Chain A
Amino acid sequence: MIEYRSIGKTFADGTEAVGDFSLQLPSRTTTVFVGSSGCGKTTLLRMVNRMVDPSHGQVLIDDVDVATRNKVELRRSIGYVMQEAGLLPHRKVIDNVALMMRLKGASKKEARDRAHEVLETVGLDSSLANRYPAQLSGGQQQRVGVARGLVTDPNILLMDEPFGAVDPIVRDELQQELLRLQRELDKTIVFVTHDIDEAFLLGDQVVILKKGGEIAQVGSPADILAKPANDFVSSFIGLDKGRRTLHVEERNGTRIVVDESGKATGVLAE
């Protein structure tokens, strides 16, 4: 379990990114931080692997304060996936992934074998393993990024808008892939996005954030949709625009699902 205890972060230039934030993230579930740009999502995420040290409060992993742990060791024990994949441009795909194993002391052969295995798990064609990152599409790079995050089999996976830079079709594919992986792997995932649909799709627990890391509402997607805590949440999840208030209409003998403005959004499964 990851726990934020009354945590805050004010950067050196005086920007208060997070005011006072407390939350528990249950093990083996996906928690999604969602909110508009600059609300402190990345800052919250990076306090888990000590890329950002809090100004006050603590982050605990399984009841151990991360501040007491060696930074490099801590980071090696946590998977990290980011936007634009952040791959090393001078290393081949296979080496980008295997390097994480090498950092943890695995032999060359062990690292390569494991890297091949994980690349297959994330659905990357093995013919791409010997390419450089610049020779892959954005979506393929993102898969490599996920493979790199998973290769050492960490308990925790931090994902910072990992699918933010790919087109909607590829994003959809990657999201489904992540759901499938999560069913198999059962990681504790902390996922950051500003896309509420992505948050509802992937999150077991969704945290809607306002500026300064203030929690507007925490809950399962169903809870939040059923009982938005306030107007901010209603508007953020699109209830106010009627996009999610659906009803059934009969058209040409078929039952169609229609939103408040009368736009058809789907058919009713019988």
Chain B
Amino acid sequence: MTWFNANTDKVWDLLLSHLWLSGLPILLGFVIAVPIGWFANRHRRLRGTILSLGGILYTIPSLAFFLVLPSIIGTGFLDPVNVVVALTVYAVAIMVRSAADAFESVSPAVLDAATATGFAPAGRAFLVELPLAGPVLLAGLRVVAVSTVSLVSVGALIGVSNLGSLFTEGYRTDNDAEILIGVIGIVGLALLFDLVLVIAGRLLMPWAYTGGQRTPIKPIVSFAQHLGGVG
């Protein structure tokens, strides 16, 4: 505790870095993956290829990825952009599968009814398919959020400051308190992201929480099960 009291400003700064280093990839990953998942669900023949590609991307070791990225996208070695780009790629890799599942979960009968009552294709995609895919998309996004928050810490190894820096520094200086604060900060941040997502889901999709039997929501995929499926 004494270490924390003496270093609150530093911890606070690292927390903020960690926040945007993870928040940005989560957001970008979601925005990029949803249309790809929609496309994969639409074109059954390409679905397998697209999803395996995502799986392969996810198997790239993160440290190696951080190190080779600068030479691919022309950034400096210590540039935090490397971390953001790499984590966005991972986020997309996980989220594409969830998105494809999400669109698959939408009842074909409802889509047929929407078409028959005069929805144009674009209107149907945005007003019917996307919101109805929402609950499964949210489940996938929660997995991505937790995974991204924990992966950011690897960035500390290549000198991009975040809560993970408390591990590297604490290890070097043999400071258990510092390492503990790092763990608490990362777990807390992951829980915070998760809470925000759950609340956003409740606000944006009140229909999914009415307890009716006619709107089945796929059970939330567990983290381990999900990664198993991707890798």
Interface residues of A (CB under 8 A from B): 46, 49, 51, 72, 75-76, 80, 82, 84, 86-91, 99-100, 103-104, 132-135, 148
Contacts and interface: CB of A to CB of B under 8 A. Distances in A.
B131 interface: yes
Contacts of B117: 75-76, 80, 86, 100, 103, 148
B120 A90 contact: no
Given A86-B109, A89-B207, A134 B116 contact: no
Contact of A90 (B109, B116, B119, B205): B205
Nearest to B131: A90
Given A132-B207, A133-B214, A86 B115 contact: no
B114 A80 contact: no
Nearest to A104: B118
Which among B109, B112, B214 has the greatest number of chain A C-beta atoms within 10 A? Answer: B214
Nearest to A138: B214
Interface string B87-112: 00000000000000000000101101
Contacts of B118: 72, 75-76, 100, 103-104
Classify chain B: how many residues form its interface, as a range.
Answer: 20 to 34
Which among A86, A133, A135 has the greatest number of chain B C-beta atoms within 10 A? Answer: A86
> What are the nearest 4 A-B pairs in CB distance?
A134-B212, A86-B113, A76-B118, A75-B118
B210 interface: yes
A82 B131 contact: no
Nearest to A70: B120
B120 A89 contact: no
A132 B212 contact: yes
27 contacts: A46-B116, A51-B115, A72-B119, A75-B116, A75-B117, A75-B118, A80-B116, A82-B113, A86-B109, A86-B112, A87-B113, A88-B113, A89-B107, A89-B110, A89-B132, A89-B207, A89-B215, A90-B134, A90-B207, A100-B117, A100-B118, A103-B119, A132-B207, A133-B212, A134-B210, A135-B210, A148-B117
Interface of B: 107, 109-110, 112-120, 123, 127-128, 131-132, 134, 205-208, 210, 212-215
Given A46-B116, A89-B110, 7 more contacts: A51-B116, A76-B117, A89-B132, A90-B215, A103-B117, A132-B206, A134-B214
A134 B137 CA distance: 21
Contacts of B215: 89-90, 132, 134
B131 A135 contact: no
A76 B116 CA distance: 8
A208 to B, nearest CB: 25
A91 B206 CA distance: 10
A26 B208 CA distance: 44
Given A88-B110, A134-B214, A72 B205 contact: no
Contacts of A75: 115-118
A49 B214 CA distance: 27
A49 B107 CA distance: 21
Given A75-B118, A90-B207, A134-B214, A84 B109 contact: yes
